[in-house]
Structure 1
Amino acid sequence: MSSVKNIKPTVCQPGDEGPITVSISRKVKLGSEAKYENWVSGVINAASSYPGHLGTNVLRPSQATNHEYVIIYRFDNYANCQHWEQSTTRSEWLAKLENLVEGEAVTKRGTGLEFWFDLPELPTQKHPSPHKMAMILIIVVYVLVAAINVVFAPILEPMPFWLKTLTIVVAQVLLMTYVVMPRVTRLLKSWLYR
């Protein structure tokens, strides 16, 4: 007999939910890749002019993305994300996609730590428990910050405090997002998603 957990949703005031991460996967029609790349540049430029935009990443087709393009964009809160998503500007850009893509787009949203624990092969709604995510992130952040401080000590030492801190934070976030967390999540998948 399986047990069902009673999960209570977290309720917060608008603006208190933290950053919103949205990923959109699309299959591009064969031969339309160059036009789609131009479209991506244009839509990213348009989105970046909206309040709260924190950046956009593009994953090009590969085995890891199921041979689809994936656009990942972030906004500082839900209201600003909605402002972009419901804008006339975005609607105009989406209208330009009609002859470039096939099938429906797959959209995933995250409002916190789960972005670092996303695995493409798992259902969108499936995320590790918050205490497991927090435990892994504490360990990973500690190890990365310690390693960056040790390895780059000669370079960091003469820097002013604010620049040293900024350098460590940028290096740590980039390493976590693109190198460490995808590998850690795959390595600990059976424990994280149990």
Structure 2
Amino acid sequence: MTLLIRHRVREGREREYEGWLRRTVDVAKGYPGHLGVDVLREQDGDRRRFTCVLRFASTGQLQAWLESADRRRLIEEVAPLLTDGDRLELSPGREFWFTPGDVNPPPRWKQACVSFLAILPLSLLVPLLWQPLFEALPWLGGYLPSNVLITLSIVLLVVYLFMPAVTRWFSAWLNAH
């Protein structure tokens, strides 16, 4: 499950909000099923807009975080810093690599370029990393098992590690129109 949380922060309160956000991320990490969080920062007129993308392993685990006393306390604490409250959007299994929610996505050619940059190094490196194991266990180095392991490794690395980082690094270019 993926949860989008959108906050527009009152002018001049960004530093307080950033501190609150760091504490909130640390608390959320302690909840079962937490798979990570990405924060997108944008200028929205005269206010900063923050979009937090939280990922949990299951709906029940996400619900436990949403209904927790910790989260209620944190939302009460941040309310004075926000212009329009705590806006939530749930999405089962959807990853928000390029654009979260209602923002216009970058052109597909830019998405393809960023995806290529994330996947190419892995497609060159991952097979080399598996090679010693394939040599030690020849049955694992067969065509089907080796391709399954290599592909699975690349997909997991891209989804959980590389794409979130690469889209942050290239966000200015991706969102330039």
Q: The TM-score by the shorter chain falls in which range?
A: 0.5 to 0.7
Q: Secondary structure at the match of 1:68?
A: strand
1:95 and 2:76 are equivalent in the alignment: yes
2:67 maps to 86
Query: When the two structures are superposed, what TM-score results if normalisation uses the length of structure 2?
Result: 0.62
Q: Which amino acid aligns with 2:56?
A: F
Which residue, 67, 70, 73 being the options, matches 2:54? 73
Which residue, 138, 145, 149 being the options, matches 2:123? 149
Query: What is the CA–CA distance in structure 1 between the aligned matches of 2:33 and 2:79, rounded to whole Å?
Result: 28
Query: What is the CA–CA distance in structure 2 between the aligned matches of 1:85 and 1:153, rounded to whole Å?
Result: 37
2:158 maps to 172
- Cα RMSD (Å) of the superposition? 3.8
Q: Which amino acid aligns with 1:94?
A: I
Q: How big is each residue's C-alpha offset from its partner over 1:53-94, in whole Å with a ceiling of 9 and x where there is no partner?
A: 11111112246xx94011111111011111111111111111
Query: When the two structures are superposed, what TM-score results if normalisation uses the length of structure 1?
Result: 0.57
1:110 and 2:102 are equivalent in the alignment: no
For structure 2, list consecutive stretches of 5 or more residues without a partner in the other structure.
105-114, 135-148
Query: What is the CA–CA distance in structure 2 between the aligned matches of 1:103 and 1:117, rounded to whole Å?
Result: 24
Identity %: 28
1:21 and 2:2 are equivalent in the alignment: yes
1:44 and 2:17 are equivalent in the alignment: no
Structure (1/2) with the larger helix percentage: 2
Q: When the two structures are aligned, how many residues end up with a matched partner?
A: 144
Measure how far apart 1:157 and its partner are: 6.0
User: Are residues 37 and 154 of structure 1, via their aligned partners in 2, closer, same or farther at CA, if it must alter by over 3 Å?
Assistant: same
Query: What is the CA–CA distance in structure 1 between the aligned matches of 2:126 and 2:32, rounded to whole Å?
Result: 36
For structure 1, list consecutive stretches of 5 or more residues without a partner in the other structure.
1-19, 124-139, 187-194
Measure how far apart 1:101 and its partner are: 1.2
1:59 and 2:40 are equivalent in the alignment: yes
1:8 maps to none
Measure how far apart 1:175 and its partner are: 3.8
Measure how far apart 1:32 and its partner are: 1.0
User: Are residues 73 and 37 of structure 1, via their aligned partners in 2, closer, same or farther at CA, if it must alter by over 3 Å?
Assistant: same
User: Are residues 114 and 149 of structure 1, via their aligned partners in 2, closer, same or farther at CA, if it must alter by over 3 Å?
Assistant: closer
User: Are residues 122 and 33 of structure 1, via their aligned partners in 2, closer, same or farther at CA, if it must alter by over 3 Å?
Assistant: closer
Q: How big is each residue's C-alpha offset from its partner over 1:134-179, in whole Å with a ceiling of 9 and x where there is no partner?
A: xxxxxx79x96566223x3696366657xx9586345422444454
Measure how far apart 1:114 and its partner are: 5.8
